[in-house]
């Protein structure tokens, strides 16, 4: 992928489109399956599939980390990623079918890490792709309906991408950077990070100018759009049409803060680890090997 970045980016864009635009068709097929086997069985099967994939990926990560100098840090981040996914499963999902977000974005995280050699930039692009996915659903598929822009789904996409990033780092192999970590200034200048920060700044600007509302307000005709067309009844609630679980929907303030905080957390991997093939400060390539300090 590093040798053919243009073709790789094009293939990644095709994959992102392929898992985004057929959303209604996929929902229809899932509903057909639920009719045949019942919703309860569908939820059980969905959970079993994701748990099996999680176990297989965990095995791949720890086998790939054997003998690597950076194995403890990467193993800790893999465990952290699984813990965050488990927490999002319990707190942000109405039903187990939504677990598809994680395996859907694992390939994107892996591909982006191979292309950028930067965990922070990879997750920034995952957030952009996940955000565009939800834009398509919010303004096209659900246009005019009383729903929020679904930051829950974007965050689940981000965690799936994080799993892909850590898996790719384990496979590509990493070595510690030593006593001098990568400066934050260099990480903040990565193209994907710049895009996310620019979008954040633009959102704050539109909101402060009254051109973007956090919640739909029928009495206000001056703003261009709102990030939610409904105010939710409580912090925890159940929507029977969405699923049996009680869950929390991230607000237009909570969602961006959580996404940015998670990207910043994984950016510490940029600061502390060097990935196979990443240029050294003197311009030569770093080819990490097992046990390399």
**pLDDT, one tens digit for every residue, the chain (293 residues):** 878 999 999 999 999 999 899 989 999 999 999 999 999 999 999 999 999 999 999 999 999 999 999 999 999 999 999 999 999 999 999 999 999 999 999 999 999 999 999 999 999 999 999 999 999 999 999 988 999 999 999 999 999 999 999 999 999 999 999 888 999 999 999 999 999 999 999 999 999 999 999 999 988 889 999 999 998 889 999 988 899 999 999 999 999 999 999 999 999 999 999 998 665 555 444 443 333 33
Rounded-to-integer distance, Cα 52 and Cα 72, Å: 24
pTM of the model: 0.93
The four Cα atoms 119, 121, 126, 132 give a dihedral, to 10 degrees, of 170
Q: Decide if 216 is inside a domain.
A: no
Angle between helices 71-92 and 39-65 (to 10 degrees): 170
- pLDDT given for residue 279 in this prediction: 59
Note the pLDDT of residue 293: 32
Q: How many domains does the chain have?
A: 1
By the 8 A CB rule, do 153 and 40 touch? no
Query: Within 10 Å of residue 116's Cβ, how many Cβ atoms?
Result: 24
Residue 218's pLDDT is: 86
Phi, psi of 91, rounded to the nearest 5 degrees: -110, -20
- Burial class from Cβ neighbours inside 10 Å (0-12, 13-18, 19+) for residue 59 reads exposed
Nearest 5°: phi and psi at 224?
-80, -45
On whether residue 111 sits in a domain, the answer given is yes
Beta strands in the chain (DSSP E): 174-176, 212-213, 225-226, 273-275
Tell me 212's DSSP state. E
Domain-embedded: residue 282: no
Domain hosting 134: range is 5-200+244-275
The pLDDT score that the predictor gives to residue 280 is 58
In a domain, 231, yes or no: no
The answer to the question of residue 238 being in a domain is no
User: Quick one: pLDDT at residue 179?
Assistant: 87
**236 in a domain, yes or no?**
no
> Within a domain: residue 211?
no
């Amino acid at each position: 992928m590093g040798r053919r970045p243009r073709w790789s980016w094009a293939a990644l864009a095709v994959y992102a489109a392929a898992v985004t635009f057929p959303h209604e068709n996929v929902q229809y097929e899932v509903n057909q399956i639920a009719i045949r086997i019942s919703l309860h069985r569908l939820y059980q099967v969905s959970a079993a599939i994701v748990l099996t994939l999680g176990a297989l990926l965990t095995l791949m990560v720890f086998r790939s980390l054997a003998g690597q100098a950076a194995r403890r840090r990467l193993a800790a981040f893999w465990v952290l990623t699984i813990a965050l996914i488990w927490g999002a499963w319990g707190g942000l999902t109405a039903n187990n079918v939504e677990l598809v977000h994680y395996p859907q974005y694992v390939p994107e995280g892996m591909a982006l890490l191979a292309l950028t050699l930067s965990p922070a930039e990879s997750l920034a692009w995952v957030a952009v792709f996940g955000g565009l996915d939800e834009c398509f659903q919010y303004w096209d598929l659900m246009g005019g309906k009383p729903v929020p822009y679904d930051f829950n789904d974007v965050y689940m996409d981000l965690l799936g991408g994080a799993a892909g990033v850590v898996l790719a780092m384990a496979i590509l192999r990493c070595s510690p950077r030593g006593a001098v970590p990568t400066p934050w200034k260099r990480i903040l200048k990565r193209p994907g990070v710049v895009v996310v920060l620019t979008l954040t700044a633009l959102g704050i600007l539109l909101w402060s100018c009254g051109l973007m509302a956090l919640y739909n307000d029928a009495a206000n005709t001056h703003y261009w759009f709102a990030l939610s067309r409904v105010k939710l009844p409580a912090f925890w609630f159940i929507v029977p049409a969405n699923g049996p679980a009680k869950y929390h929907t991230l607000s237009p303030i909570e969602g961006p803060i959580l996404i940015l905080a998670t990207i910043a957390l994984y950016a510490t991997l940029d600061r502390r680890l060097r990935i196979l093939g990443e240029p050294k400060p003197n311009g030569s390539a770093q080819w990490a090997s097992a046990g390399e300090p």
